[in-house]
Structure 1
Amino acid sequence: MTTSFDEHRLKRDRVEGLLTERGADSLTLTSPGALSWLLAGARVQVSLVGDPVVAAVLRRGGDDEIRVFGNERARIEAEELPHGLTVTSPRWDQPLLAEPTRASPAALREADVAFELQDLRASLLDVEIDRYRLLCQEVTAMLGAALESARPDHTERSLAARLAGGIVALGADPLVVLVAGRERLGFPHPLPTESPLGDLAMAVVCARRGGLIANVTRWIRFRPATNEEGDAQARLLAVEADFFAATKPGALLSDVFAASTAAYAAHGLAPDTWERHHQGGPTGYNGRDPRATATTSNIVRADQAFAWNPNAPGVKLEDTVIVRADGAVDVLSVDPGWPSAEVHGLTRPAIREQ
């Protein structure tokens, strides 16, 4: 059984390799994603929009130091950190880290190696994939239950409140909760309002637990689909299948992006559809790690998590998946109770009619 300390050591070994490669003496980690990855899913923030209350100073050969504000130390050590780490604590009114010095390039900051750290995080360990799968399954089931009970006269905010509460009840952080009723489906990121759901609605959640972020989008309809809606859904499913087909270990993310965005025109949608909203990309300890573009030079890795979100007017798809070494796509956020269709051997969500 892999313990949190085992997980930490395996990741620490990856960092040691980076330090050796760069000829550096130390690396300081300060972002929520990097810290939570290193510390086996530890919660390192109090305010979800605030800076972490933890920092890590990793030194080549060992003698690492986990810095935690003194007023947070008891809880962080008892509930979050792997055992066996060296923790030091400045007082709450003092800086978490000493003022950085740039006298020597041997002392790296996170920003100096941001690209390399994305690559270190890319291939998930088996224990991380297990943790991720359970989170995605629970979040997707909660989302399905909340949508099943929704009604056309319910407001976007009332549905969002249920979704946010459901995420917290799962022991997760509601990082993103979006709801769009019929009147607001044209907005790429529809923060919920008092508008009613109407006859067609979309819900998007991004929920973080154990450091990992589940990304899921689902739709409900309160009337039969029109021919145009059914056609748009079928075309976007074909676009998504091309996204998955292009996402192979060893491929440049920029090449994956180019092949995938070209799929819109290939499947009868406007060629510039992809320009209207971002298309997703690698995920895991950050919502997108990084967001894919035509210039993203990261390489797809085996056992890497992705959350592509192809979208067109009135339709959007999003699930959290793992890309395996052989290129197979392992969908983590499958809800057996949700209506679905088989597309190129994968179970893909349909729009629920109720």
Structure 2
Amino acid sequence: MTGEMLVGDLTRPVPADAAFAAPTPEDCATERALKRERVLAVLDRSGRDAVLLTSTTALTWYLGGSRVHISLAGDPVAAVLVTGDGDHLVTFTNEFERLRSEELPPGLTLHQVPWHQQLHEVGRWFGPGVAPAAEAELARDLRDARRSLLPVELSRYRALNREVAAILTDVLMTVSPESTERQVTATLAERVTNIGAEPLVLLCNGSSRSTFRHPLPTAAPLGAGAMVVVCARRHGMVANATRWVRFGAATASALDAERRIALVEEDIFTATVPGARLNGIIDQLRESYERHGFGPDQWLMHHQGGPAGYAGRDPRATPVTDDEVVANQSFTWNPSAPGVKIEDTVLLGDAGIEVLSVDQRWPVERVGNLDRPTTLQL
């Protein structure tokens, strides 16, 4: 890791992202066909005739990013029955016209039930004689089906991550020690909503609350500095990023801790290769914390991340999670220690790790072969 800091122009406006173009109907048709093919393969391997998709993660993936929720904290207002003969979507009568007009891709047979009935009672709306597998029965296989992102998904995801990174730069370059945590996250929420995304997680801790790793915002001022976390969803895909801001000069110990946590992340990236297992990466991460001076138990103080995409983590990596890493899979690892954390959404591509949540104006340091974000000094 070098000591050279690369700082972009923090005053120029963010240009419109001309690299992202809405997918064509042909792109969407190909996406639908390939995802259906993957689910039918899951059914074939499991010996089942049908599966009922009921989670937001599975539904938004299978439907190409359709919004099938009302409350972010509630269950989806639709379910999809995948059979060898076709895809059947059921929703409540009061949601039917909106979903059909604004959200759903072609090629679905639509059903509706009154608001007081249950979407999961397949026999009531589809007819007798079908006994689909519950999504939970095939959870691992369906998760595997989502792992490798298609080109149209990567286009959507790259655009979202770039926009989220730019929003973090825009907002944090304007804050002051007197800004409150709630003011910061309120501005972030507005900006995230304005790009057509949903702010799933907004965290902020000023210097008085710097020991908390999941700091829900309060009325506390930022003081000497802050950590800010954004997890934003659009087209069903979730971009995750953490940034730090500091007012005044950094102490030598703070700079040293930031350098060492970036080295832990570098070790995680090195371990994230096709064929690796998530629990194997966790084993290497535990050793990395100790090797870089954080002690043997630091990994227990906070989850470490894992595959990303259609959920914040899909799944969260643990010592018993043995999912296999594949090419074109996205990840958000988030190593942390007292007062430090580093987090971006990345893609495991042909050339290795590609950082997706990048804004060229944010200060970075070179770690291995990647530019990684440092603390914005104001």
Query: 3-state SS of the aligned residue for 1:262?
Result: helix
User: Is 1:90 aligned to residue 84 of structure 2?
Assistant: no
Q: Which SS does the other structure have where 2:167 is aligned?
A: helix
Q: Deviations over 1:70-119 (max 9, x none)?
A: 11111111211111211111122222231689x99962100101111111
Other structure's SS at 1:64 match: strand
Q: Which residue of 2 aligns with 1:63?
A: 86
Q: 1:335 aligns with which of 341, 355, 359?
A: 359
The residue identity in structure 2 corresponding to 1:68 is T
Does the aligned pair in 2 maintain the 1:24–1:105 contact within 8 Å?
A: no
> Counterparts of 1:196 and 1:10 in 2: how far apart (Å)?
49
Partners of 2:123 and 2:130 within 8 A in 1: no
Which stretches in structure 1 are left out of the alignment for 5+ residues? none
Aligned pairs for 1:43-192 (under 5 A) are 43-59=67-83, 61-98=84-121, 107-192=132-217
In 2: Cα distance, 1:219 partner to 1:95 partner: 45
Aligned-pair identity (%): 48
C-alpha separation between the residues in 2 aligned to 1:265 and 1:97? 48
Residue 6 (structure 1) shift: 2.4
Letter in 1 for 2:61: W
Q: How big is each residue's C-alpha offset from its partner over 1:102-160, in whole Å with a ceiling of 9 and x where there is no partner? A: x9996210010111111111100011011000000001101111000010011100101
Q: Which residue of 2 aligns with 1:29?
A: 53
Give secondary structure in 2 for the equivalent of 1:89.
strand
What is the deviation of 1:261?
2.1
SS in 1 for 2:306: strand
Q: Contact conserved, 1:180 with 1:202, CA < 8 A, in 2?
A: yes
What SS does structure 2 have at the residue aligned with 1:195? coil
Q: Report the number of matched residues.
A: 351
- CA–CA distance in 2 between the matches of 1:7 and 1:68? 23
TM-score (norm: length of structure 1): 0.96
Judge conservation of contact 1:174–1:205 (CA < 8 Å) in 2.
Answer: yes
Determine if contact 1:306/1:320 at 8 Å carries over to the other structure: yes
Pairwise CA distance, 1:325: 4.2
The 2-side partners of 1:324 and 1:100 are apart by 43
Contact 1:334 1:347 in 2 (8 A): no
Match of 1:5 in 2: 29
- Equivalent residue number for residue 240 of structure 2: 215
Instruction: Tell me the residue number matched to 2:305.
Output: 280
| CA RMSD of superposed structures (Å) | 1.6
Tell me the alpha carbon deviations over residues 180-229 of structure 1, each in whole angstroms, 9 at most, x when there is no partner: 00011111110000111011100001000000000000000001111000
Q: 2:88 and 2:130 mapped to 1: Cα distance?
A: 19
Aligned partner of 1:39 among 63, 66, 82: 63
CA distance in 2, matches of 1:29, 1:262: 39
Asked if 2 retains the 8 angstrom alpha-carbon contact of 1:30 and 1:52, the reply is: yes
Alpha-carbon offset, residue 297 of structure 1 = 1.0
Aligned-partner residue type, residue 56 of structure 1: V
Report the Cα distance in structure 2 between the residues aligned to 1:160 and 1:65, rounded to whole angstroms: 39
Q: Distance in 2 between matches of 1:227 and 1:303?
A: 38
Q: Matched residues in 2 for 1:104 and 1:23: separation? A: 16
Conservation of the 8 A alpha-carbon contact between 2:182 and 2:218: yes
TM-score (norm 2): 0.90
Matched with 1:249 is: 274
